[in-house]
Amino acid sequence: RKEVEQDPGPFNVPEGATVAFNCTYSNSASQSFFWYRQDCRKEPKLLMSVYSSGNEDGRFTAQLNRASQYISLLIRDSKLSDSATYLCVARSGGYQKVTFGTGTKLQVIP
């Protein structure tokens, strides 16, 4: 079983739609969580950190469920520019091992 698992997609959604991605992690020692986005042939860029109480940044909402060991990303009012691969990241304590999921591909269509 992978340490961080994501549905690879692709998720094809129309502009303006709301879309949600889930990500599960297996290491219960994971303490910090992040969402990155990666455009084709570019470097991953930090989208947002994920806090236990949930957090929102504009059209993006991230949530963490420690009991079930999953995090989610909700995108409201999708834009064409949201088309990318979204990477879920879990980081453990100690020397802070960082594990990336393989990503969920989102395609927003006009």
Partner 1 sequence: NAGVMQNPRHLVRRRGQEARLRCSPMKGHSHVYWYRQLPEEGLKFMVYLQKENIIDESGMPKERFSAEFPKEGPSILRIQQVVRGDSAAYFCASRQGNQPQHFGDGTRLSIL
CA proximity to 24, closest of 67, 60, 71 = 71
Q: How far is the CB of 77 from partner 1 (least distance, A)?
A: 25
Amino acid at 82: D
Side chain identity at 57, as an amino acid letter? D
The β-bridge relationship of strands 104-109 and 11-14 is parallel
**Ramachandran region of residue 41, left (φ > 0), alpha (ψ -120 to 50) or beta?**
left
- Segment interacting with partner 1 (CB under 8 A) among 22-30, 37-45, 60-68, 71-79: 37-45
User: For partner 1, which is the closer residue by CB, 79 or 97?
Assistant: 97
Residue choice 1, 28, 43, 67 for contact with partner 1 (CB under 8 A): 43
How many other CB atoms are there within 10 angstroms of residue 24's CB atom? 19
Nearer to partner 1, 69 or 99 (CB): 99
Tell whether residue 102 is a contact of partner 1 (CB under 8 A). Answer: yes
Residues that bind partner 1 (CB under 8 A): 32, 34, 41-46, 49, 87, 89, 95-103
